[in-house]
Structure 1
């Protein structure tokens, strides 16, 4: 059963609230049917044509995504923060037959109008007619999302309708979604976290997804205070910003927020490692231990802390229903199951290389299994530092550094060294802009073995991050050069 099929059982319920209005599932079905009819333009089936779209998070976004699917196309959501060259890359790489855009993005797309062989449609160009729509098999390609490209050019990750359903239903069961849920979605909608974990899980459940016109700490906390939502998912950076904003509020304002947060059903953190210090500060404010989970564009979510049960700081939990997880000899997480993607778009060699002979996907993430749960050590390419014969987790060193007085945030990387292979470098964001490094080293010696001590330091105002708030370690390495 598809998202569209399930929507017919929730017709009168509110599906989406955006800055313009509230919309029911009935309105979503009607609007997406009109989008599909316009896209078909007399054809019976788009037959997996790629349709790219650049619109803000809104009812219009959802209607476009569903309309592309209902017409038999492959949805290619574009990042609203990307510059023109990045948008060109995705449009050309997918050979999109059409690009649909909201008026506010015309300026960033206009340099492509005469240089890219595709048709550009404004959201205002869609008609009001409906026509018969094709029946879709579950093994048809449905969506292409692009990787972050931290180790090379971004690759298009192709998922089928069956893959998407498997990703949704695993979370629907594990996190006990219901039609009474209301979730605030502040995550980018070109990424699996925002599209699947928040938007699609809510709509599969008959629940409501709420969008803000733009992110601000005040706006998010106001939504919480007013009791408009009971589920929230975000990246660690967002929780950090909310904590910092909360700390400067009056006691009366803080108490109103604390009271509202205690009525939430679920709060989740993902897309980057959650510092234990942030988890503990948020628990003090909200009364909730954030649920950490593990996933990526190619597999959806694979591992999760329990909805009901102990959530251990620093751990990501156990495999989700229907997901087969194992650790290779080097500690790499490998995943197999119906939620795993079909292929990298137009990259058969890269697709073949990403799977083991028995069908497990190479995630490239290194973990250990301890006391019944997985703990991430880091990404093999950037978070595992190989120094003097040791394999060292950058994330472990970061957790220790964050507990030092005066350090607000930090990033640890391996730097090339002719003698040791790599030495440990640490970028520090501090309250005062600097620290006594001799004192810091003495403090670290009491908490870490000598081979895990940073050998080089830099001070920065902020760490380089991608749009999901994840620290871009390759860019951070360049800062040491």
Structure 2
């Protein structure tokens, strides 16, 4: 295969002086990053498998690039992972060393591993003549653990081939070049923040500016000073929309509006961005946020093209090289327009399997080789995919109808009295399942009534989609990516 990160191949090449990554006041050129990574790669070349304490710092970038250069599979660890889950991940992946920053305080579970310190402020020089050969395309690059919603987390083995295929498909869809400067504030232990947000720019020979911690002011500052692209999750875009709507002072609002207006590309992922927030951002900036759809095991599956027609509420057509179909519970493939079914995919973007879990790997694939995503969606006549939600939590079967939680959530979020909402199903002796809306009111002292919300849904969608039960909360439970944890609500 071609080089995974060609701009880092030569620490003294033409790209050496270009900025590769920036975290706050610390900037690393391609030359500095290549030197640091190759120096570290020489130290871990015989490690077998390494863990990376994946803080949002340049040390994490150096560590992951070093592992890729050495051909050693890396296991990114979420620093917020609890002791029980961390112990499971370490026992399952069996790394021999952990790479961490000089100021990181590692938990006891990591003490038995060889600890290799990575310091981005140290000037490194690669060993004389050091230049590792490119590993095989099918060689494991990263082992990224799933969220563990249906049991202990599973390690998805991502080969170099999958990383290259997904990043190149996004290059095609988004016109992504080495001139782009990506801004984001995502965690670096998962696909969105690490592979798309760091390895994506590095594969293109461009630059990434990481905010460390998300803030509308940080977004405005970096986009307003040369940033061309913004990656975020819906929670972040919701906060940006709130500022644009007037929750901040005039100066902050105008600074953010100007920065977003000047960006080449605004991308949201990891969960559906409510249509209401799409509309608010476009109204204030004239720019539309585009969405893409992927997951740990498949990397990126679909995406709205930069030169395509944005359809708020959809995630675009399949990316180059990706095949996608819908299937019924019994495996029957659905071809009719408007059909709702499980999304299944295949292509070079897929993982090779779950580490140590051939049973789970087999169960995740159909007999004819398609990966079962567990997501439910529809495909429009234009080929654009709309995600209804997770099969286990967002597809509600009520009174003989299949109901997607997402469309109900979008209708409720457009109500001025609703700040946040989640829709789930709940067992019902008559309907099978009834629709339940969990609402965070804009004004907790005067929330919209359950009858008003139900009537709104019935009028805009259909009577059978109206919430039968409305529960009011102060906040919705979310994970590190800002996704609403509906299993916690149902529990």
Question: TM-score under structure 1 normalisation?
Answer: 0.92
* Match 2:479 to one of 466, 475, 479: 466
> Once structures 1 and 2 are overlaid, which stretch shifts more, 320-329 or 375-384?
320-329
* Match 1:120 to one of 115, 118, 126: 115
Contact kept, 8 Å, 2:324 with 2:343, in 1: the verdict is yes
The equivalent residue for 1:199 is 198
Contact kept, 8 Å, 2:35 with 2:126, in 1: the verdict is no
For residue 262 of structure 2, give the secondary structure of its aligned residue in structure 1.
Answer: coil
CA distance in 2, matches of 1:448, 1:255: 36
Query: Counterparts of 1:358-369 in structure 2 under 5 Å?
Result: 358-369=368-379
The equivalent residue for 1:286 is 285
Contact kept, 8 Å, 1:4 with 1:29, in 2: the verdict is no
1:104 is displaced (CA, Å) by 4.1
Contact kept, 8 Å, 1:142 with 1:161, in 2: the verdict is yes
The equivalent residue for 2:146 is 147
CA displacement, residues 354-379 of structure 1 (integer Å, 9 cap, x when unaligned)? 11122111111111111312211121
Contact kept, 8 Å, 1:171 with 1:197, in 2: the verdict is no
CA distance in 1, matches of 2:385, 2:126: 51
Distance 1:70 1:285, change over 3 A: same
Query: Counterparts of 1:392-403 in structure 2 under 5 Å?
Result: 392-403=403-414
CA distance in 1, matches of 2:269, 2:107: 35
1:334 is displaced (CA, Å) by 1.1
> Once structures 1 and 2 are overlaid, which stretch shifts more, 210-219 or 370-379?
210-219
* Match 1:354 to one of 351, 356, 364: 364
- Say whether 1:476 aligns with 2:476: no
Contact kept, 8 Å, 1:55 with 1:102, in 2: the verdict is no
Distance 1:437 1:285, change over 3 A: same
* Match 1:389 to one of 390, 400, 409: 400
The equivalent residue for 2:21 is 16
For residue 460 of structure 2, give the secondary structure of its aligned residue in structure 1.
Answer: coil
Contact kept, 8 Å, 2:220 with 2:255, in 1: the verdict is no
> Once structures 1 and 2 are overlaid, which stretch shifts more, 375-384 or 243-252?
243-252
CA distance in 1, matches of 2:125, 2:265: 39
Query: Counterparts of 1:28-107 in structure 2 under 5 Å?
Result: 28-40=33-45, 45-46=46-47, 49-106=48-105
CA distance in 1, matches of 2:256, 2:24: 22
CA displacement, residues 158-184 of structure 1 (integer Å, 9 cap, x when unaligned)? 011111111111111111111111111
- Say whether 1:421 aligns with 2:426: no
1:426 is displaced (CA, Å) by 0.9
1:475 is displaced (CA, Å) by 0.6
For residue 5 of structure 2, give the secondary structure of its aligned residue in structure 1.
Answer: helix
The equivalent residue for 1:260 is 259
The equivalent residue for 2:352 is 342
Contact kept, 8 Å, 2:408 with 2:457, in 1: the verdict is no
Name stretches of at least 5 consecutive residues in structure 1 with no aligned partner: none
Distance 1:417 1:13, change over 3 A: same
1:103 is displaced (CA, Å) by 4.2
- Say whether 1:242 aligns with 2:255: no
Contact kept, 8 Å, 1:413 with 1:424, in 2: the verdict is yes
CA displacement, residues 194-222 of structure 1 (integer Å, 9 cap, x when unaligned)? 12222112111111111223222322233
1:133 is displaced (CA, Å) by 5.5
The equivalent residue for 2:32 is 27
Contact kept, 8 Å, 1:185 with 1:199, in 2: the verdict is no
1:257 is displaced (CA, Å) by 2.8
Q: How many residues align?
A: 467
Question: TM-score under structure 2 normalisation?
Answer: 0.90
Query: Counterparts of 1:209-224 in structure 2 under 5 Å?
Result: 209-224=208-223
* Match 2:441 to one of 430, 433, 443: 430
1:129 is displaced (CA, Å) by 6.2
CA distance in 1, matches of 2:487, 2:29: 44
